[in-house]
Structure 1
Amino acid sequence: MVGTSVMTSYLIAAKSLHHHLRRGRMVVMDDGTLTEQDRALLRHHLGDPQILSLADVDVGPCPRGGTWERLLTILDIAADDYVIQLDSDTVTIGPVPHIEEAIDANRCFTLLGAETPARTIMDVHEFQACSFPDGEPTAEDREGHIQGATESVLTRLAIEGLDRPRYVRGCSGFAGFARGSNRRLAMSFSQAAGAILGADRWKEWGTEQITSNFVIANSDDAVVLPPSSYENYWGTPSSDDVRFLHFIGTYRWHAWEYQRRSLAAIKALDRAAGEEARAA
């Protein structure tokens, strides 16, 4: 989703990824705040992208808000096209061969999420054993943040068509959805989790990301991107092999790293534009 307040950062995110990926078209979801000037800038920089309205999305039995409209729209589009979800607080700073390979093989991918010892896609029972002390969630897990609360009940969910459901604690700030996807699994998961956790809890911010993780984990041959190359930035130095950075929350303003990486990306785009102009 894009709003007028994040236009500059969104253009950096979108153009830096496209510069290294060199394929695809843009689809933008307007959060309701884009102005005509914003739309003109998007058309100029992103090749006249399709702009969808948040308010027009039918969420069905899923919650409204909390980026659910975004996920469901992505899954609808992914029926016919490979789709990458990209947050505006990201910068692509180098070649992304893992993304190219995932697209070519039509495999979903996800950025690894935060604070998890489970660094691969796992059967939900394995995930629970790996993620919770002594292999069992505590009352605090069940009653705390919605991510932990949902992950604590994964083994209790009955999802039609899934005998052995899988899960990964990913990050929906950068995720790929294989062509041939649809929203059915997302809706089934939402209804099952909401029935256990309660409707009020299932409306909380974060349930869309958990659902995105579940959908990706249960797709064929999904990929967890190597965290040394595709990083969530937490204020510590990046690896020498970093290709992509997702600046979490206020860490975007830590030590001027986001500004430094963004400026470098803009300069790379300028150089590429100059080279194309000279070659024309």
Structure 2
Amino acid sequence: MIDRILRKGREALHLRAARAVLRTPPIVPTADRVVIFSMIGTRVLLPYLVAVKTLHARLRIGRIAILDDGSLTEADKAVLAHHCGDPAIRSIRDVDTGLCPQGGTWERLLTLLDLRADDYVIQLDSDTVTIGDVPDVLAAIADNRSFTLLGGPESEGVGLLPLPAFVAWRYPDGVPAGRPHIQAAIESHFGCYPDAAAHHYVRGCSGFTGFARGGVSGRSEAERFSCAGEALVGKERWSEWGTEQVASSFLLANEPGTQPLPYARYANYWKQAIGAETCFLHFVGTNRYADAEYRVRTRQAIAALG
């Protein structure tokens, strides 16, 4: 109970600090084929503005596109129009998920796959802060190669593994006992995926990914993976939150040239010390308000925006 109260207090302090982003200059979109895309709602409006403004300030290219989770108000949309260059805002209600689940950010992934037909699309979560230059991302865009944030430091240097090799590396003792997290439940069954040796996987994080323009993965590939994944773990489990992240990582791993970003520079925040070389932080839910780091980095990043 005490920990919950403390977290709520840190969240309130963070939102108070993030409000200063409303006094920073608006994004000026550029006329190129790069889109920074996010699914957001009214609750994360201020953190999202910090996330998108700090990334765009380092990229200096791209325009903004948004998927409304159904909660954005007209006032929110007016703020977004001013600060993000009048971005295209789609409604989650208009997304046909086909053979994929509804919810769990599948609408975001499928919309992204539609957008990539014509543009390089960067998927950006609202709980991220760009704190330095991002040369690896700019190089991937210039070469039209996809990229992904890694899930954790243990994946550094592992690369894109064939599915049987991934299972042997990550789950040497087989499928975890009991009811494991949905990500582990799917991944540990990858040895049974159809034609497993012909497919690859990277343990990535869909909070920050880049999908190359005109890449090989589209809705049909996402639906094919969804059907195969459901067969591995069952319909009930496939509807859980977390399947979209596995799908995103699978699709990216099976595209030529996909680059896992170096974890020392692009990291999820697990309450670790932040190195001087770190340029991007994703404040994942379990540790987002565990301490003051998110608030401190947000305040510093807003100050850098001017």
TM-score by length of 1: 0.91
Residue 244 of structure 2 is aligned to residue 244 of structure 1: no
Superposed CA offset, 1:102-147 (max 9, x none): 1111111111103745732111111111111xx3413517x41111
Residue 167 of structure 2 is aligned to residue 128 of structure 1: yes
Query: Where does residue 219 of structure 1 map in the other structure?
Result: 255
Residue 77 of structure 2 is aligned to residue 77 of structure 1: no
Query: Among residues 80, 96, 103, which one is paired with 2:141 in the alignment?
Result: 103
Residue 215 of structure 2 is aligned to residue 177 of structure 1: no
Letter in 2 for 1:179: R
Moved more, 149-158 or 38-47: 149-158
Deviation of 1:203 after TM superposition, in Å, equals 0.3
Query: Where does residue 93 of structure 2 map in the other structure?
Result: 55
Superposed CA offset, 1:152-189 (max 9, x none): 11121126xx8610001100000111111322211111
Query: Where does residue 168 of structure 1 map in the other structure?
Result: 202
Letter in 2 for 1:50: A
Cα contact 2:176–2:184 (8 A) shared by 1: no
Deviation of 1:250 after TM superposition, in Å, equals 4.0
Question: Against the structure 1 CA distance between its residues 139 and 259, is the aligned structure 2 distance closer, same or farther, given a 3 Å change threshold?
Answer: closer
Moved more, 82-91 or 246-255: 246-255
Question: Within 2, Cα distance between the matches of 1:250 and 1:206?
Answer: 14
Q: Return structure 1 stretches of 4+ with deviation > 4 angstroms.
A: 115-118
Letter in 1 for 2:175: T
Query: Where does residue 277 of structure 1 map in the other structure?
Result: none
Query: Where does residue 301 of structure 2 map in the other structure?
Result: 265
SS in 1 for 2:290: helix
SS in 2 for 1:251: coil
Letter in 1 for 2:209: A
Question: Within 2, Cα distance between the matches of 1:124 and 1:94?
Answer: 34
Deviation of 1:196 after TM superposition, in Å, equals 2.3
Q: CA RMSD in A?
A: 1.5
Letter in 2 for 1:203: S
Letter in 1 for 2:267: E
Superposed CA offset, 1:9-68 (max 9, x none): 000000000000111110001011101110011010100000000010000000000000
Residue correspondence of structure 1 range 202-213 to structure 2 within 5 A: 202-213=238-249
Residue 174 of structure 2 is aligned to residue 137 of structure 1: yes
TM-score by length of 2: 0.83
Question: Within 2, Cα distance between the matches of 1:139 and 1:175?
Answer: 28
Deviation of 1:191 after TM superposition, in Å, equals 0.4
- Structure 2: runs of 5 or more not aligned: 1-38
Query: Among residues 175, 180, 199, which one is paired with 2:235 in the alignment?
Result: 199
SS in 1 for 2:177: helix
Query: Where does residue 278 of structure 1 map in the other structure?
Result: none
Residue 270 of structure 2 is aligned to residue 231 of structure 1: no
Cα contact 1:109–1:222 (8 A) shared by 2: yes
Question: Against the structure 1 CA distance between its residues 99 and 5, is the aligned structure 2 distance closer, same or farther, given a 3 Å change threshold?
Answer: same
Residue 68 of structure 2 is aligned to residue 30 of structure 1: yes
Query: Where does residue 19 of structure 1 map in the other structure?
Result: 57
Cα contact 1:117–1:130 (8 A) shared by 2: no
Deviation of 1:83 after TM superposition, in Å, equals 0.3
Question: Within 1, Cα distance between the matches of 2:286 and 2:176?
Answer: 30
Question: Within 2, Cα distance between the matches of 1:191 and 1:95?
Answer: 39
Question: Within 2, Cα distance between the matches of 1:166 and 1:263?
Answer: 39
Percent of residue pairs identical: 51
- Structure 1: runs of 5 or more not aligned: 271-280
SS in 2 for 1:253: coil
